[in-house]
Amino acid sequence: MKYRKLRDLEVSSIGLGCMGMSEFYGETSDIKSIAVIHRALDLGVNFLDTADMYGPFTNEILVGNAIKDRRNEVVLATKFGIVRDENNPDSRVINGRPDYARKCLEASLKRLNVDYIDLYYLHRVDPDVPIEETVGEMSRFVEEGKVRFIGLSEVLPETLNRANTVHPITALQSEYSLWTRDVEENGVLQTCQELNIGFVPFCPLGRGFLAGKITKADDLEAEDYRRISPRFVGENLDKNLEIVKKIEQIAVEKSCTSAQLAIAWTIAQGENIVPIPGTKRLKYLEENTQSVEISITSDELIILQNIEKPSGERYPPVYMSNVNK
């Protein structure tokens, strides 16, 4: 396995997003998911990503159980800031208050069954709390030895700069893939490079769509979140399939899969970039991990760079209001 640095934090060049092991993408199995995490560690994939809102809460417990005998092999990342109502799973409230941050940290440490968290993210920015206050409290977690490094998610350059003046930000996590390029256009990638901040793309496979396995809504399980995601429905789905076809053409020429090509493309965008594709299947873990060995030529990069934008927003409107803050 190859390794990269998110500022001063060394991690595998590809991570593992664990969210789908607990919800959002259909049927789950803790036994199978733990096997996937163990295999990831065997392959040298040491960067595991979870959050308190996944489940909610159950994903951290799952990850904690998986790593209980292998903690020294893991760079563990989790997040706080999105509050969910257990009686209404679709409800989302953002809370970045310092007292809430501390409450979340202590709860995550307990659920994960660890003494410290390697990388602790603010999951979304609270518009009612200055970022300086939230990050100020997070910096105290570092001083106390409960957190090694801190990060942010889905923020704009101004917010990132303000936060970084309070405490060094190790990583910024936002959606980034061949069909979600916001961070190229809004200056986030450039700001990360200028400030020596690592960038962690989630959903580098466009929620699995870029792998080419989804061609119609019926390919998704009944409880799969993507059935209501704008890019996966109606005319948007039909238009977006054309993007996948172009990726598939290049992948065939390179003797790799579309998924591997899409992940390799994100890795090629900068030495400070470490994608965290999620999967709950051993087959796809093995496939995704091989992406670190794929090189993309300058001509291929130009072709991929010019692929048209997708049809539809990446989230339903109610969730879009909480990104790029």
Distance CA 182, CA 292 (A): 23
User: How many C-beta neighbours within 10 Å does residue 41 have?
Assistant: 18
- As given in the structure block, the two tokens for residue 159 are 């917010």
pLDDT in tens, 84-138: 887 777 788 999 999 999 999 999 999 999 999 999 999 999 999 999 999 999 9
| Identity of the residue numbered 268 | A
| Catalytic residue of the set 54, 120, 176, 225 | 54
Distance CA 305, CA 301 (A): 6
Distance CA 243, CA 262 (A): 11
Higher pLDDT, 94 or 224: 94
Residue range 254-260: mean pLDDT, rounded: 96
User: How many C-beta neighbours within 10 Å does residue 270 have?
Assistant: 15
Give the list of residues 6+ apart from residue 33 with CB closer than 8 angstroms, or none. Answer: 18, 21, 22, 62, 66, 280
Residue range 35-40: mean pLDDT, rounded: 98
- As given in the structure block, the two tokens for residue 211 are 């792998």
Mind listing the domains of the chain with CATH numbers? Answer: 8-208+269-294 (3.20.20.100)
54 is catalytic: yes
* Rounded (to 5) percent helix, strand, coil in the chain: 45, 20, 40
What pTM does this model have?
Answer: 0.92
Q: How many residues does the chain have?
A: 325
